[in-house]
Amino acid sequence: GNSVTQMEGPVTLSEEAFLTINCTYTATGYPSLFWYVQYPGEGLQLLLKATKADDKGSNKGFEATYRKETTSFHLEKGSVQVSDSAVYFCALSDTGANSKLTFGKGITLSVRP
């Protein structure tokens, strides 16, 4: 079956530091890949997505590239802000009419001033 593996957390960084959150996946076929973010007290929000190999998703300064050869979708940001403090989930979706999301465990990011 499908699975998503995220690096262990939590992660604590100083403001303006470089961020990398690793994500690898196992899936049959050609899944779509996503990063969701959950800010304190709120529901999950779609941060970015990539639907085919070598696609790069980007939003709010975050980027992730769909690497089929390494089955990875690592999230990066060049300079984090305190407002980026949240829980980040990597996820995949298979294709088809009844497609579902499979999530990683999530990782908590704390950015200190």
Site residues, another protein (CB under 8 A):
4, 32, 34, 36, 38, 41-46, 49, 89, 91, 93, 98-106
Is the distance from CB of 25 to CB of 92 less than 8 angstroms? Answer: yes
Residues 6+ apart with CB under 8 A from 37: 44, 45, 47, 86, 87, 88, 89
Give the whole-angstrom CA distance, residue 41 versus residue 75: 22
Between 51 and 65, CB nearer to another protein: 51
Q: How far is the CB of 111 from another protein (least distance, A)?
A: 20
Which helix (H) or strand (E) segment holds residue 113: the answer is none
Is the distance from CB of 11 to CB of 111 less than 8 angstroms? Answer: no
Length of the chain: 113
Between 17 and 55, CB nearer to another protein: 55
Between 17 and 106, CB nearer to another protein: 106
Q: How far is the CB of 80 from another protein (least distance, A)?
A: 22
Q: How far is the CB of 17 from another protein (least distance, A)?
A: 24
Between 36 and 80, CB nearer to another protein: 36
Q: How far is the CB of 108 from another protein (least distance, A)?
A: 10
